[in-house]
């Protein structure tokens, strides 16, 4: 694992890098892209979950007493539609008690600003909430920042972001607005092109996942 700074973690695990390479390959077709995306999400969310808090406790095994621990966070998964859906599917398998709040955002391809089309959040959340925003591509950072803002307004808990690939511009944007958000990624790529795509990136994640 490489820590770019205390708030950005790049998962350099060989399996993660293998899966990411499969996703980057323009020849990878949707069914495989989706399958690799789900597996990659599991690894990334697993690494992100190192941030979670635990309570120490004792446990009785069939042959004695052991020291143990139990997860204490009230976990909320916040997939950014559409592409974040595959990440939520993977994350929920690992964290079955997690609540899921979907965030519908569409990037305006002219202005590159995120436009909200769905957000149904409660008025309040428990103070020990841990919100894990799931968005495969952190490009300009507009979508991730809008999703984070929805939860930040509720003034609770801890917010994390998990992405497959980030551009330096996206990380900068998120951290300029929300310096405490911990970001877990498979790679920080070179830059954005004139259309706001991550270079080299993996193309349009939503289109490749859903075959559109």
Under rule CB under 6 A, which residues in 119-178 are in contact with ligand URA? 137, 139
Contacts of 160 (CB under 8 A, 6+ apart): 48, 51, 130, 131, 132, 133, 181, 182, 183, 184
Answer yes or no: are the C-beta atoms of 95 and 117 closer than 8 Å.
no
Residue nearest to ligand PRP (CB): 206
- Report what 114 binds from ligand PRP, ligand URA, none; CB cut-off 5-8 Å by kind: ligand PRP
Note whether 186 binds ligand PRP by CB under 6 A.
no
Cα–Cα distance for residue pair 94/88, rounded to 1 Å: 10
Known catalytic residue: 24?
A: no
| CA 2 to each of CA 11, 80, 96: distance values in angstroms, whole numbers, following the listed order | 6, 25, 28
Q: Residues binding ligand URA: what is the number (CB under 6 A)?
A: 9
Whether residue 135 lies in the annotated active site: no
Q: Which does 135 bind (CB under 5 to 8 A by kind): ligand URA, ligand PRP, none?
A: ligand PRP
Which positions lie near ligand URA, rule CB under 6 A? 137, 139, 196-198, 201, 204-206
Question: Catalytic residue positions?
Answer: 107, 111, 204, 207
């Amino acid at each position: 694992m490489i820590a770019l700074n205390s708030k950005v973690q790049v998962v350099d695990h060989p399996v993660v890098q293998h899966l990411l390479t499969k996703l980057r390959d323009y020849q990878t077709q949707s069914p495989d892209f989706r399958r690799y995306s789900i597996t990659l999400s599991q690894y990334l969310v697993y690494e992100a979950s190192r941030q979670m808090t635990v309570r120490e406790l004792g446990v009785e095994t069939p042959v004695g007493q052991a020291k143990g621990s139990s997860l204490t966070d009230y976990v909320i998964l916040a997939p950014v539609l559409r592409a974040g859906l595959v990440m939520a599917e993977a994350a929920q398998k690992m964290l079955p008690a997690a609540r899921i709040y979907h965030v519908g955002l569409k990037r305006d391809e002219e202005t590159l600003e995120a436009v909200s089309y769905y957000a149904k959040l409660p008025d309040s959340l428990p103070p020990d909430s841990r919100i894990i925003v799931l968005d495969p591509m952190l490009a300009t950072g507009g979508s991730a920042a809008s999703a984070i803002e929805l939860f930040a307004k509720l003034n609770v808990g801890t917010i994390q972001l998990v992405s497959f690939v980030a551009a330096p511009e996206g990380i900068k944007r998120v951290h300029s607005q929300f310096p405490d958000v911990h970001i877990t990624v498979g790679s920080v790529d070179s830059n954005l092109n004139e259309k706001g795509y991550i270079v080299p990136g993996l193309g349009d994640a939503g289109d490749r996942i859903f075959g559109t």
